[in-house]
Structure 1
Amino acid sequence: MFEWNKYFPFHNQFSKEALKKADPKEVEHYVNSVMESVFGSDSAAQFPFRDPLPTKEKTQRTEPDIDIFETADHVFVKVAVTESQLEQLKIKHTSHRLLIEHFPGSIHPKKVNLPCLVKRKGTKAVYKDGQLEVMFHKQQDYNMSEVEIMR
């Protein structure tokens, strides 16, 4: 059989008794810090369900908001930018992430996780009325493989 314990070294550290005694605020703080370390400091913007009453005070953001929505065939990303900012932007993407170089208020390329896989070809970007809209075609082929079960 497969040695599961070898790959899960923390299973003894988080016992049921320890979790029962844990303070919910400490657990929430721990989860938030792990999420920020994995997804970045703006991870909350990439998840659709947010706490309606955030505990942190809202800080003045220098970065524009990014809106992501999808239809049956497309994924759309909308960013509010000025024409002067638009001249400096460079847009690149992989099958699962949009990269915006020279993003306003950021020294590193802005990484936006897409909600599904998209095609490499056919992406269009249009600027109109202060909004940059990037349209991706969804990738329908998920390259499914069957796995044989060994006995």
Structure 2
Amino acid sequence: MFPWSMFPFNNDEMKNIADKMNPADIQSYVSEMIKKYVPPHMENSNVPFNFQTANSSQAQEKEQQKFHVDVFETFDHIFIRIQLPDEETHKQLKIFHTSNQAIIENMPEPGKRHTIILPSLVKRKGATALVKDLILEIKIPKMDDMQLTEVDVSEKF
């Protein structure tokens, strides 16, 4: 049997400790611990702490965006469709792409940059962009050569 009587706290001692505690001291201790462990961007928030939003920087980023982005692919191309806020916005945009990302400058506001991860590798040349009914559509051809290498499987290591 475990010797529980050897612990320094028995029921009477714990009751005395609880009676001597000051609620203001407890509040200051809890506040100090929260400041240590809550991310800096949430320190001045008047909203109660929510574990679902604490680690959702992507959700906050999407809320700040003033446009909607759809990315989909066909057999030959990747399409990016972005809802523009007004007719003049597309004149300020600069569009670039790497083999796996599309980069749109001056979106959602001048001086900002928005990066979109593409679902597959794309070619360096041949991309087009078109604006119609306040929708910017970017069409990028997919890379044909996937450079596959076969790996032999052996039974012994």
**Given the two structures, how large is their TM-score scaled by the length of structure 1?**
0.57
Q: Compared with structure 1, are the counterparts of its residues 110 and 62 closer, same or farther at alpha carbon in structure 2 (3 Å cutoff)?
A: closer
Alignment partner of 1:101 is 2:108: no
* Deviation per residue, 1:71-100 (Å, 9 max, x gap): 111110001112211111000000110000
Indicate the RMSD between aligned Cα atoms, in angstroms.
3.0
Q: Compared with structure 1, are the counterparts of its residues 79 and 121 closer, same or farther at alpha carbon in structure 2 (3 Å cutoff)?
A: same
Amino acid across the alignment from 1:70: E
Amino acid across the alignment from 2:90: L
Q: Compared with structure 1, are the counterparts of its residues 69 and 87 closer, same or farther at alpha carbon in structure 2 (3 Å cutoff)?
A: same
| Structure 1 unaligned residues grouped into runs of 5+ | 1-24, 46-58
* Counterpart residue number, 1:12: none
* Counterpart residue number, 1:76: 79
In terms of Rg, which structure is larger? 2
* Number of residue-to-residue matches in the alignment: 105
* Counterpart residue number, 1:128: 132
2:73 and 2:115 map into 1 onto residues whose CA distance is 18
| Structure 2 unaligned residues grouped into runs of 5+ | 1-49
2:91 and 2:109 map into 1 onto residues whose CA distance is 15
* Counterpart residue number, 1:137: 141
Q: Which one has the bigger helix percentage?
A: 2
- Give the secondary structure class of the aligned counterpart of 1:103: coil
Task: Give yes or no for contact 1:62–1:105 (8 Å, CA) kept in 2.
Answer: no
- Give the secondary structure class of the aligned counterpart of 2:89: helix
In the TM superposition, what is the alpha-carbon distance from 1:70 to its structure 2 partner? 1.1
1:147 and 1:103 map into 2 onto residues whose CA distance is 44
* Counterpart residue number, 2:92: 88
Q: Compared with structure 1, are the counterparts of its residues 136 and 86 closer, same or farther at alpha carbon in structure 2 (3 Å cutoff)?
A: same
In the TM superposition, what is the alpha-carbon distance from 1:107 to its structure 2 partner? 4.5
**Given the two structures, how large is their TM-score scaled by the length of structure 2?**
0.55
Match of 2:69 among 66, 74, 77: 66
